[in-house]
Amino acid sequence: MRSKTPEAESENQFNKRGGSVSRHHSFTVGGLFNSMQHTWKIRDPPPLSKQLSDELLNSVCSHFVWLPKRQCSSFCKCSDVKQLPVDLSALIRCSNYFSLLMQYVNGRVLQLPSNQLPFLETGFQAFLSFANDSPFKVTDGNAMDLYMTADFFLCRELGAKVLQFLAERFKRDVHFALHLLMEIDEFWLPELERVAMGAVLSNFTKIFEATNSPEQWLKLSADLVHRILSHNALNCQSEEQVLAAAAGWLRANPGHQRAAARLSECVRFGLLEPGQRARLSMSYPDLMRWSPPPWSVAMLNNSATGKSRTRHSGGGAANSVNSRPREPHEIVLVFGGWGQRPAPIAVAGRVAAAATNQSAHDADNAANQQQQQVPQVQTATGTTGPQAACQVYNPRADCWLLRCPNSGSRSRTGHGLPSNHIGQLGARVYSGCLLVDGVIYVIGGYDGQQALRAVWRYSLRQPELGWHIGSCLTHKRYYVSCAATETGAMYAIGGHSGEVVAQDQRGLTARLSSVERLQAGESVWIEVASLHVVRSDAGAAAIGERVFVAGGFDGQRYHDTAELYDPDVDQWTLIGRMCHPRSGVALVAIGDAVYAVGGNDGEKRLRSIEKYRLGGLDNEWVEVGQMLQAKSNLSAVALDGGTRILSIGGWSDDGQPGVLATSETFCLCSGASKRTANCGFAASATAACVLRDHQTAQWLLQQL
């Protein structure tokens, strides 16, 4: 409907897509005023009065909006004439429409087309309230009318207010976004369409959680279904999910079958796993018969240097969209780690130069006292130590990208990376990493010489600031466990201070039970209740405002205990014991449960993954699956809305002991583990977080 003209419409049908919005100046019919009808009167001086009568005019400004001539619908009784005072200056201030229009209407009569534009019946009163700074409320029932009124009168502030309401509403109910997208399909409202489409693309998997054929989906037009399924930013778990969504829409109506060939173009068959085609051909014959033959897909994939899916989203070695990975809505950032310093290597088709041993400036002054010296580990590939690299994982393309300080060729200062680059961070190991309100925090750790108090910050909203030191911890901590709550409270739990306890004849170093908290936006870490036991190298995660810590090591014992912190009473409570003692364990929160992944039980590294559900009646940990490889000191994060757990690197005693470059995912639905692409270099004790924002993820990938 975008290209239709008013002349192509029947007399009694309004061209909403092309003509309902005041910005379309091309629909020019007649002059400004109709002297035969009086509904708006501009008085000199203000205020402006609005008269509503049975005979409403066809247009406020007919050179802005094309409207057919037809009988007016009843808006109010002829005898029910109302005078509504309006501050003319307020209208001019908030609306570009009135600001321009008032230059021509001194003492003249304006026309309000509420009979042809029914959204004005609801939206105009709220528009007047907004203009006069009077209270009004945006609701599900009036949001659409308010936005169209704001768009009609070119009131950007009101439109932004409604868009903000809808964006928050879409987060709670993505089906509402799908419904609204269907409702506005015949209008030209690009900003509203962008917000609704973004919500649908980001939460595509949620739409089909219960069924492959949700009611709103089946009512969409073929054009809209094609726009969604072909979009490069569609956040689908696999192309099989795209097939299922298209098939559900096709089977809902016999008339939909005409679009089968077109919808088959939306499926990126080159990304399907080998061996899937035979099964999918039986499940979705109406779509698979339009798919390219296997030899054609193989030719596309093999034409690239390596697999096409190992490139980051934005491009692809294959020239066809058929084999190009979709854009990720989340990426994994991994900082530092204990491993071999990366030599110049190719990672996912990109070359990462060697990192030097130069650390960024630290807030910690060199202590004169004796520091714990961590032994260097010899492997087949050489000496290992704390690293300064930043590794980025793109789960859609299944590839890792690597950046190291003072490496690469994109220097703005003549040497190394620009100082504001995400990869420009000093060597760190056994630190914590949190992403809170658009800011990455790397907390504590060890730089190869001393334990650290420093907390480094990188604002994704202000990347020009680069890495800078934030509020330092009260105590030096490495082997530290960190977690962040929904309200932005960050916790640094337990760990190791790096200081030698003088009275201990065995020379054991000080492991900690203390806990510190920093609220996002504040500048001071404060100590809260201490743990029941000393824990270093434990796992930590948060559900809501409650914080879990599990496992760890106190210098003598490997713990199988776990604790839960309630900030309302400032108290840690011991909960059920894990199935195994675990030090060097990763803890991941998903929904109302936490998952303990891997670890060291004092005798061997572990493959097992166990789950504890908050509020469960049994208060027990339950094993739910195993990784492909036993490991400890790994990083683990949740992906794809909590349906998968990605484990990264670590230390393994399977086969030849040493640090790992492998990564793998564990599917919570099937209980199966699957190997993913290798990291840029082998590392354990890394710090990882997940960036869940499509636009920021795309920007960051472009920087790499």
Does residue 559 share a domain with residue 454? yes
Q: Would you put residue 682 in left (φ > 0), alpha (ψ -120 to 50) or beta?
A: beta
Does residue 141 share a domain with residue 216? no
CATH (domain of 261): 1.25.40
Does residue 110 share a domain with residue 66? yes
More confident residue, 126 or 382: 126
Residue with token string 């016999």 = 254
Q: Return the SS3 of 467.
A: coil
Residue 457, both tokens: 């910050």
Residue with token string 């704001």 = 150
Residue 527 lies in a domain: yes
Residue 681 lies in a domain: yes
Domain span at residue 272 reads: 203-323
Residue 114 lies in a domain: yes
Does residue 134 share a domain with residue 33? yes
As a whole number of angstroms, the distance between CA 273 and CA 75 comes to 60
Query: What are phi and psi for residue 363, nearest 5 degrees?
Result: -80, -15
Residue 378 lies in a domain: no
Percentage of the chain exceeding pLDDT 70: 71
Residue 178 lies in a domain: yes
Residue 403 lies in a domain: yes
pLDDT band at 499 (very low <50, low <70, confident <90, very high): confident
Does residue 108 share a domain with residue 67? yes
Q: Would you put residue 181 in left (φ > 0), alpha (ψ -120 to 50) or beta?
A: alpha
CATH (domain of 135): 3.30.710.10
pLDDT band at 573 (very low <50, low <70, confident <90, very high): very high
Per-residue pLDDT at 631:
97
Mean pLDDT confidence for 71-94: 50
Asked if residues 687 and 336 have their Cβ atoms less than 8 Å apart, the reply is yes
Does residue 557 share a domain with residue 424? yes
Does residue 338 share a domain with residue 267? no
Closest CA to 15 of 32, 34, 29, 33: 29
Does residue 404 share a domain with residue 289? no
Does residue 415 share a domain with residue 300? no
Residue 542, strand partner residues: 547
The domain boundary, picked from 144, 163, 198, lies at 198
**CA–CA–CA angle 151, 154, 159 (5° rounding):** 50
Which amino acid, one-letter code, is at 403? Answer: R
Residue 495 lies in a domain: yes
The domain boundary, picked from 163, 178, 198, lies at 198
Q: Mean pLDDT check: name the lowest of 33-37, 274-278, 288-292, 496-500.
A: 33-37
Residue 195, both tokens: 């917000």
Mean pLDDT confidence for 402-431: 69
Per-residue pLDDT at 501:
62
546-556, pLDDT tens digit by residue? 999 999 999 99
Residue 376 exposed, middle or buried by CB count within 10 Å (0-12, 13-18, 19+): exposed
In this predicted structure, the answer to whether residue 510 has a pLDDT above a threshold of 70 is yes
The domain boundary, picked from 170, 198, 226, lies at 198
Does residue 189 share a domain with residue 212? no
CATH (domain of 497): 2.120.10.80
In this predicted structure, the answer to whether residue 9 has a pLDDT above a threshold of 70 is no
Mean pLDDT confidence for 267-292: 80
Q: Return the SS3 of 255.
A: helix
342-359, pLDDT tens digit by residue? 544 333 333 232 232 333
Mean pLDDT confidence for 484-505: 84
Q: Return the SS3 of 86.
A: strand
What is the average pLDDT score of the chain? 77
Residue 372 lies in a domain: no
More confident residue, 7 or 452: 452
Expressed in angstroms, the distance from the first to the final Cα of the chain is 41
Mean pLDDT confidence for 231-242: 92
Does residue 83 share a domain with residue 24? yes
Asked if residues 331 and 704 have their Cβ atoms less than 8 Å apart, the reply is no
Q: How many domains does the chain have?
A: 3
Give Cα separations from 387 to 405, 429, 434, 472 (angstroms): 10, 7, 18, 21
Cα 441 from chain centre: 17
Does residue 571 share a domain with residue 483? yes
